Amino acid sequence: MMMSNIVRTTTKMVSPFLVTYSIYIMLYGHLTPGGGFQAGVILAVSIILLMTAHGSKNLEEKVNETWFKMIENIMAISILIMVSIGLVFGAMFYNFLHRGTFGLPISGGMIPLFNIFVGLKVGAGFMVIYYALLRWF
């Protein structure tokens, strides 16, 4: 099912900004309010907006449910692996990367990486939930 021309044009214009905003929240999660989870939700919303406006049937060959499932799983496993690297340095979850100076985008050791993984995982997870709900229609 496709929505009207106005909605389609607007979502097309809005969704890139949403993606940018989500990437900003993801990358600055350790400095500003927000973080991986919020970024992931916004990322998922930007795709869901496009899908509801253009009809999920028309986007079938461009976005696929299995990808999201794979992304979610791979991200969860990468988080576990990254967290386990800390074992070499002393403890699980040990922040083994260089901490950097406070306030710079690249600082805080593995926290930005953590935010990125969580963001992608949550975004993919929300997409999977959306697909599950879509099956009822």
Residues of this chain that interact with another protein (CB under 8 A) are: 66, 69-70, 72-74, 76-77, 80, 84, 86-87, 90-95
How far, in whole angstroms, is CA 43 from its chain's centroid? 5
> Minimum distance between the CB of residue 92 and another protein, rounded to whole angstroms?
5
Of the pair 52, 78, the CB lying nearest another protein is at 78
Q: Which long-range contacts (CB under 8 A, 24 or more apart) does 52-55 make?
A: 52/3, 52/11, 53/2, 53/3, 53/7, 53/8, 53/10, 53/11, 53/12, 54/2, 54/3, 54/8, 54/11, 55/1, 55/2, 55/3
> Minimum distance between the CB of residue 72 and another protein, rounded to whole angstroms?
8
Contact by Cβ (8 Å): 72, 124: yes
> Minimum distance between the CB of residue 70 and another protein, rounded to whole angstroms?
7
15 sits in which H/E element:
helix 5-27
- d(CA 120, CA 21) in angstroms, rounded, equals 14
Of the pair 89, 137, the CB lying nearest another protein is at 89
Of the pair 53, 119, the CB lying nearest another protein is at 119
> Minimum distance between the CB of residue 35 and another protein, rounded to whole angstroms?
17
Of the pair 17, 93, the CB lying nearest another protein is at 93
